[in-house]
Every structure is written in structure tokens, then in C-alpha cells.
Amino acid sequence: MARIALNTALSLLVARRLGAEGLGKYAVLTAYIQVFQVFTALGLPQLVIREMARRPHERRYWFQGAVVTQLLAAGGGAAILILITNVLDYPVDTAQALRVAALSLFPFAVSSAAESAFQAREQMGLIALTQIGSRGVQVTGSVLALLVGQDIVALAWMSVIGQCLAATIDIVLVRGMGLWRGFRVDLNASKRLFRQSLDFFILSLSVVTFTRLDILILSQMVGERATGLYNAAYLVVQVMNFLSASYGHAAYPVLSRLFSEARARFETLLRKSLLFGMTSTLLIAILLATAAQPIMGFLYKGEEYATSALLLRIMVPFVVIFMWNSLLSKGLMVSDLQRRSVIVSSAKLGTGLIYYHLLTTWLGVAGTAIATVLAGLTGTILNYYFVNREVCALDIVALAAKPLTIGAILIVVLWIARGLAWPGLIVGGTIVYVCLLTLFRVFSKEDIRLFWQMVCGL
């Protein structure tokens, strides 16, 4: 949570100091960093976490193999990123920032392997320690750079410094665990690991490319100012999605263990997580749409971002869609069905390219927002189909139809009461929603008790 808070605070400062165009440049920078970090990881974190959780006596082998393999990938990724900056028509400062950011891939390779080991041991606190320290330094340096009038290039250098600090902290921690002991470079082991992780790599690359496809296409088709307006709205959605992703990451090693040790508990955890995720994110989405105008006005303090309120209302369904995608994809991966996830992510990426191109051409930045929702929904439907058919039965009426009906009733209630001040709508809407959940008996006492037991177990 601290990581997303720091990143959000930095993005808001960029928006206020550099304007919509500057925020667009920053969105392009972070989009490329995220895509090439996945290229560097090569899908190994998912494989390593799963295998370390299942075979703890082989942790040193998996960790050391991941470090070597990912460092090799970092070299290739940096070269490709620099090549892209020379081919695409980005402004001089944006291109220079991307070249600087390529350097961050090397320390990221080490951090990625180390944090996979922490997650496999269900020691997420160590990841938080590393991220808070490194991101804190990065954000502090970035804030100082912005306050003295620096631009996007300085922010790229701060990203490199923050990633180097994270790698340093991670190395100290893994050495204390003995994972660095007897370190050896085994290229044959790297080849084996890459072959084993190929499905995970294709899946991860497809997923992250899809999540940043909007920024990359919009910046080329419409320009960096429109990208900034879009990113201002997406930033709010991204904060909510981070919570969903965090739960999914925390649940992944637990689901992996339960799948092999207690299949019934695995299925229960997956179903209840989907239900609680649906009900919580649905309320958040409705309230965000209700208070979109004051939220954007409070965050960005300028008429320049008035369009972003409309974009936020269009994109709020993606909050619910993302939660389901996160959990359903984890269900497939822990069931050794990552090939199905590859199919889903590839289909989502392919349809996303079509949606983004057609709708952005037709409707501009609003079309990009609609395309984000449609492409995400396509992936959710496919993920549900595979999990329901091959992993465990999922009752769509209990898990989705009933909560959506309650959400529709809440929307009508809020529309009728639209004359009230927005703080009253938020509080009143939340109370009405809880009452409707109770009236429709969405949760039993046993559901709530079981859910809290599972949360404590994570």
C-alpha cells in the first residue's frame, strides 16, 4: 500500500508541476518501464514462486537460476528499448528519458528474483520493506527534482537510483537467507528455466502490454497531452486495481499450497475471494462514478483536467473486471493451466489492439477509455470459462448476477438522491449497499467467518 501511495503522490505532483503534457510523458515512461520489466522477468517469478512453495529444499537452485537468466534478459531488453526510442517519433526529452530508464532493468533483474523468493516463503513483509525504502528515496529525489524545475529526464534517473537501492537491500536480505551461498552461473540451467517459464513469460508480457497498450497507442495516435488527461483518470482506477493485485499476489502462494494439499479449501478460497472481490469493488466503482467530478477537482486542481472526470466515469467498471481477472488467472496458474492463461491474455491483447485502434480513431480519448473496459471484459469472460470448466464450478448467479443486481438498485437510489452533496451520497450509498447485501442474503455468517480466517491465514 505504501508503494502505490508514493507512486500516486508522485504522479499527482507531476500533473500539477508539468501539466497534462508532462503527465503524458511520465505515463509513457512508466509504461515502457513496466513492459520491459516483464521482458526482463521472463515469466520466472510465477514459476519460481510456485516451485519454491512446493519444493522448499530447492530454493537456492531456483533463485540463482532466476538471477542469471533475468540479468541476461535485462541486457536484451535494454538494447530493444533503446532501439525503440530511435525508431518511434517521440519528443527529444521523452526519448532521452527512455534511454536512461533502460539502465534500471539490470538492478530490477536482481530484485525480481529476490522478491520471488520472499513471496514463495510467504514473507511479503520483506518486499514491503524493500519497496518502501527504495520507492521512498526515488519519490523524494523526484519531488526535489520537480521543485527545482527539472523535467522527465530527471525522473528517469530517479527511477534508476531507486531500483539500484532496491537491489542492494534485496541482496543483503537473500544473503542472510543463504540463497546467495555458492552462487554459480549455469547457462544450461538458465535455458531450462526459460523453457519452463515460457508460458508464464508469454502470459505476463501479454498482460502488461495490454495494461499499457492504452498509453502506448494513445500517445502515438492523439498526443502526450491527451495521454495525460487519460492517465489522470486511470491513476484513480489504478490505485483500486493495486489493492486487487496485492490480494492476488498474496493469495498466489497460498492457493498453490492448498491446490496440492487441500483441494476443497483451495476451491472455497477461490470462490469466496471472487464473491468478496465482486461486492467490494462494485461499491467502489459506483461511488467513484458518483463523485468523479469532485475527486478529479481535488486531485489535480485545474480546469485542464475537467475531461478526466468523464473518463473516470467511463472506466470505473474496469475496477470490478480487474479484480476478477486477477483472481481467475491465479486460479488457472496454480492449477498448472497457465497455457489457458496464455490463450486468454493473447485474445485480450489481440482484441484490445482492435478496440483501441477503432474506438480511439472514432471517439478520441473517450474511445480509449471504452476500449479499456471492453478488452478487460473479454479477458474476464474467457478466464471464467476456463476456470469454471477445468478447475472448479463457479456459480455465476451467486458470484456475479446477484451483486450486480444490488449494484443496479444502488445506482437508481443514488440517481434519485443526486441533489444531495457528494459526501452525503457516498455515506448514504454505502449504508444502502450494506443493507441490500443483508436483505438479499449475499453472505452468510459462515461466509464472513471463513473469509476472515482466510485473510488472517494470508
Mean pLDDT of 295-315: 88
Q: Which of 15-19, 252-256, 364-368, 380-384 has the lowest mean pLDDT?
A: 252-256
Cell digits for 65? 537460476
For the stretch 277-288, pLDDT in tens is 899 999 999 999
Mean residue pLDDT across the chain: 87
| Residue 386 CA from chain centroid, whole number | 22
Handedness of CA 280, 285, 291, 294 (dihedral sign): positive
**How many Cα atoms are found within 13 Å in the side-chain-facing hemisphere of 82?**
12
Cell digits for 35? 513492459
pLDDT of residue 390: 92
Mean pLDDT of 64-91: 92
pLDDT of residue 206: 76
- Cβ proximity of 122 and 97 under 8 Å: no
For the stretch 16-36, pLDDT in tens is 888 889 999 999 999 999 999
Task: Give the domain range for residue 214.
Answer: 1-221
- d(CA 117, CA 132) in angstroms, rounded, equals 18
> Is 450 a member of any domain?
no
Regarding predicted confidence, which is higher, 197 or 384? Answer: 384
Mean pLDDT of 189-201: 84
Reference 327, options 392, 277, 391, 397; nearest CA is 277
For the stretch 91-123, pLDDT in tens is 999 999 999 999 999 999 999 988 888 887 767
Residues 228, 172, single domain; the answer is no
- Cβ proximity of 11 and 23 under 8 Å: yes
> Is 416 a member of any domain?
no
Regarding predicted confidence, which is higher, 55 or 369? Answer: 369
Mean pLDDT of 166-181: 87
Neighbours of 301 (CB within 10 A): 12
Q: Give Cβ neighbours of residue 350 (< 8 Å, ≥ 6 apart).
A: none
Residues 173, 252, single domain; the answer is no
Neighbours of 86 (CB within 10 A): 10
> Is 64 a member of any domain?
yes
Q: Is the pLDDT of residue 454 over 60?
A: no
> Is 43 a member of any domain?
yes
Q: Which of 302-311, 333-342, 424-433 has the lowest mean pLDDT?
A: 333-342
Q: Give Cβ neighbours of residue 448 (< 8 Å, ≥ 6 apart).
A: none
φ, ψ at 62 (rounded to 5°): -65, -40
- d(CA 441, CA 434) in angstroms, rounded, equals 11
> Is 132 a member of any domain?
yes
- Cβ proximity of 53 and 202 under 8 Å: no
- d(CA 333, CA 297) in angstroms, rounded, equals 41
pLDDT of residue 451: 57
Cell match 448476477: residue?
Answer: 401
pLDDT band of 456, cuts 50, 70, 90: low
Residue % of the chain over a pLDDT of 70? 95
pLDDT of residue 366: 94
> Is 310 a member of any domain?
yes
- d(CA 410, CA 151) in angstroms, rounded, equals 44
pLDDT band of 334, cuts 50, 70, 90: confident
Q: Is the pLDDT of residue 57 over 70?
A: yes
Residues 231, 208, single domain; the answer is no
The size of the chain, in residues, is 458
Residues 59, 168, single domain; the answer is yes
pLDDT of residue 447: 64
Residue 354 sits at the vertex; the CA angle it makes with 329 and 210, to the nearest 5 degrees, is 35
Residue 56 sits at the vertex; the CA angle it makes with 52 and 58, to the nearest 5 degrees, is 80
| Residue 257 CA from chain centroid, whole number | 23
- d(CA 187, CA 197) in angstroms, rounded, equals 15
**Collapsed DSSP state (helix, strand, coil) of residue 404:** helix
For the stretch 236-255, pLDDT in tens is 998 888 877 777 777 777 78
Residues 173, 250, single domain; the answer is no
Q: Which of 100-104, 202-206, 391-395 has the lowest mean pLDDT?
A: 202-206
Mean pLDDT of 395-402: 89
Q: 430: buried, middle or exposed (CB in 10 Å: 19+, 13-18, 0-12)?
A: middle
pLDDT of residue 40: 93
Residues 159, 235, single domain; the answer is no
Residues 232, 212, single domain; the answer is no
- Cβ proximity of 400 and 275 under 8 Å: no
CA distances from 12 to 6, 19, 341, 364, 417 (A): 10, 10, 34, 23, 31
- d(CA 103, CA 160) in angstroms, rounded, equals 7
* Range ranked top by mean pLDDT from 128-137, 160-169, 179-188, 262-271: 160-169
Domain count, the chain: 2
pLDDT band of 187, cuts 50, 70, 90: confident
pLDDT of residue 446: 64
Residues 203, 272, single domain; the answer is no
> Is 425 a member of any domain?
no
Mean pLDDT of 315-321: 95
Question: Given 395, 422, 445, which residue is the final one in a domain?
Answer: 395
> Is 435 a member of any domain?
no
Q: Which residue blocks in 262-337 are alpha helix, DSSP H?
A: 263-290, 292-300, 306-315, 317-334
Residues 266, 176, single domain; the answer is no
Question: Given 395, 415, 441, which residue is the final one in a domain?
Answer: 395
Question: Given 368, 395, 422, which residue is the final one in a domain?
Answer: 395
Residues 90, 197, single domain; the answer is yes
Reference 211, options 46, 38, 73; nearest CA is 38
Residues 67, 167, single domain; the answer is yes
φ, ψ at 245 (rounded to 5°): -65, -40
Residue % of the chain over a pLDDT of 90? 42
Q: Is the pLDDT of residue 259 over 60?
A: yes
Reference 338, options 278, 263, 252; nearest CA is 252
Residues 253, 217, single domain; the answer is no
pLDDT band of 162, cuts 50, 70, 90: very high
Amino acid identity, residue 317? P
DSSP 104: G
